[in-house]
Amino acid sequence: MNRSNSAEFYSLRKDVENVAARVRQLLDSADLEQQEAVLADLENQASDPAFWEERSKAQKILSELNEIKDRVNLYKTFRAKVDDAQCIVELLEEMESPDAALKLEAAETVSWITAAMDRFELNKLLSGTYDKEGARITITAGAGGTDAQDWAEMLLRMYQRWATRSGFKSTVVESSPGEEAGIKSATLEIDGRYAYGYISGEKGTHRLVRQSPFNSKGLRQTSFAGVEVMPLLEESEIEVEIPEGDLEITTCRSGGKGGQNVNKVETAVRVTHIPTGIALRCSEERSQLQNKIKAIALLKSKLLVILEDQRAAEIKEIRGDVVKAEWGQQIRNYVFHPYKLVKDLRTNVETSDISGIMDGNLEPLLTAYLMSKQSSSSPVPA
């Protein structure tokens, strides 16, 4: 081999060694054998003819089984790919003139393993109780008039694009158009594992600075939009009892006589948890009763998340004032003019690629926030 080839080769070999070490470390701490034993035991349970007699228990076991299966397969894939890369390196060492295709294959394998391990380690940070669930995002236009309503719609698109890029399915379950443009509010449901874990940090106020297309003089304007995030929980997961007297339920009748006088799609229901002041509006189902049921389920989910955030043991202990303060907190600035900058106020991460951000490329911001949350709290369980 000539000099430049050997330099390249040694660099490649070093990369493969690093990645191999990383994978080895992971497999050591993961105890692959033990995981496979657990998997075999669960599969045994699932093949028992009496397995489905207790439906919810069966579903829990099945979901645990799938989780472990995925993990075990991933570990095995890592191990296999490292073996491949190491084989190629050995081959290349033997060869007189190094094969370009082989070098490329090794380099790509290293890239793949690195990206997959990064993602895997990020997922380990998502160890909150609800992180594995899908997410429900509500965006509400704040101060700024039509410009803020347009801003809210831009944020909605941003999250939709992020969801698609990340391989999640998303549905707009509710939206209220603004009078002239944009939206007053909208709710987006994102289906997929860990969606909530990734996106829950988005809750708070997002601030926009730009030359507003809705300002007749094209002046620079500041607008705000609020984002709320909740996990999508199954009925069975919402194990919290709330006394009926603690809930205030109102329907959104726009004043006036109601009853026979009116025929409108006003099935929206607003549920308020009186002790904490936390309220929720649901308008996506076709009857008031269904909206009431869904609103209460969503309210319970919200309370469960707050319980977790505030590390409270019971709903009684939730501090409503703290909740309000948190959800109004400004978390990110997006500046379009006179310069282009997106800055996350919690991690201080900034980027001038604002169009990339609006296009849904949120990873750098999300990852930085997740890691900062991780380092400021207790160590992640293995």
Partner 1 sequence: MAVLRGSVELVIPICERPASKSTPLAKLLRWRSQSRHKASSISTALSELDGGPDSSELLTELEWLLDDAVEKCGRGDRDDLDQERNDTLAGHGEIFLRASLEELEQGWKERIDRRRPFQYVTGSSHWRDLVLGVQEGVLIPRPETKQLIDLAAAAMDGNSELARGVWVDLGTGSGAIAIGIARLLDGRGSVIAVDASEVAIAVAEANARRYKLQEAVTLVKGSWLTPLRDEAGKLSGIVSNPPYIPSRNLGRLQAEVGKHEPICALDGGVDGIDHLAEICQGACWALKSGGFLALETDGGEQAQTVAKILSDKPFEDIKVVKDFAEMSRFVTAFHT
How far apart, in whole angstroms, are the C-alpha atoms of residue 328 and residue 263? 36
Nearer to partner 1 among residue 243 and residue 255 (C-beta): 255
Q: Which residues, listed in sequence order, are joined to residue 229 by a DSSP beta bridge?
A: 137
Nearer to partner 1 among residue 122 and residue 269 (C-beta): 269
Nearer to partner 1 among residue 97 and residue 263 (C-beta): 263
Please pick, from the candidates 3, 217, 286, 316, the single residue that binds partner 1 as defined by CB under 8 A. 286
Please pick, from the candidates 57, 253, 319, 337, the single residue that binds partner 1 as defined by CB under 8 A. 253
Residue 249 binds partner 1, judged by CB under 8 A: yes
- For the beta sheet containing 269-273, the strands, ordered from the edge strand earlier in sequence to the opposite edge, are 247-251, 269-273, 278-282
Nearer to partner 1 among residue 164 and residue 352 (C-beta): 164
How far apart, in whole angstroms, are the C-alpha atoms of residue 115 and residue 276? 43
Residue 265 binds partner 1, judged by CB under 8 A: yes
Residue 379 binds partner 1, judged by CB under 8 A: no
Residue 283 binds partner 1, judged by CB under 8 A: yes
Compute the least distance from the CB of residue 266 to partner 1, in Å.
Answer: 7
Compute the least distance from the CB of residue 299 to partner 1, in Å.
Answer: 16
Number of shown-chain residues binding partner 1 (CB under 8 A): 35
Residue 259 binds partner 1, judged by CB under 8 A: yes
Residue 165 binds partner 1, judged by CB under 8 A: no
Nearer to partner 1 among residue 88 and residue 183 (C-beta): 183
Please pick, from the candidates 18, 90, 218, 258, the single residue that binds partner 1 as defined by CB under 8 A. 258
Compute the least distance from the CB of residue 215 to partner 1, in Å.
Answer: 21
Residue 21 binds partner 1, judged by CB under 8 A: no
- Which residues lie below 8 Å from residue 294, measured CB to CB, with a gap of 6+? 282, 284, 285
Compute the least distance from the CB of residue 247 to partner 1, in Å.
Answer: 12
Residue 245 binds partner 1, judged by CB under 8 A: no
Task: Show the 3-state SS of the chain.
Answer: CCHHHHHHHHHHHHHHHHHHHHHHHHHHHHCHHHHHHHHHHHHHHHCCCCHHHCHHHHHHHHHHHHHHHHHHHHHHHHHHHHHHHHHHHHHHHHCCCCCHHHHHHHHHHHHHHHHHHHHHHHHHHCCCCCCCCEEEEEEEECCCHHHHHHHHHHHHHHHHHHHHHCCCEEEEEEEEECCCCCEEEEEEEEECCCHHHHHHHHCEEEEEEEECCCCCCCCEEEEEEEEEEEEECCHHHCCCCCCHHHEEEEECCCCCCCHHHCCCCCCCEEEEECCCCEEEEECCCCCHHHHHHHHHHHHHHHHHHHHHHCCCCCHHHCCHHHHHHHHCCEEEEEECCCCCEEEECCCCCEECCHHHHHCCCCHHHHHHHHHHHHHHCCCCCC
In the shown chain, the binding pattern of residues 218 to 237 toward partner 1, with x for contact by CB under 8 A and - for none, equals: --------------------
Nearer to partner 1 among residue 186 and residue 233 (C-beta): 186
Compute the least distance from the CB of residue 260 to partner 1, in Å.
Answer: 5
Please list every residue from 287 through 326 that binds partner 1, using CB under 8 A.
287-290
Nearer to partner 1 among residue 184 and residue 340 (C-beta): 184
Torsion of CA 337, 339, 341, 343, to 10 degrees: -80
Nearer to partner 1 among residue 78 and residue 162 (C-beta): 162
Compute the least distance from the CB of residue 178 to partner 1, in Å.
Answer: 10
Nearer to partner 1 among residue 140 and residue 347 (C-beta): 140
Residue 260 binds partner 1, judged by CB under 8 A: yes
Compute the least distance from the CB of residue 188 to partner 1, in Å.
Answer: 10
The residues of the shown chain that bind partner 1, judged by CB under 8 A, are: 164, 169-177, 179, 189, 249-251, 253-254, 256-267, 283, 286-290
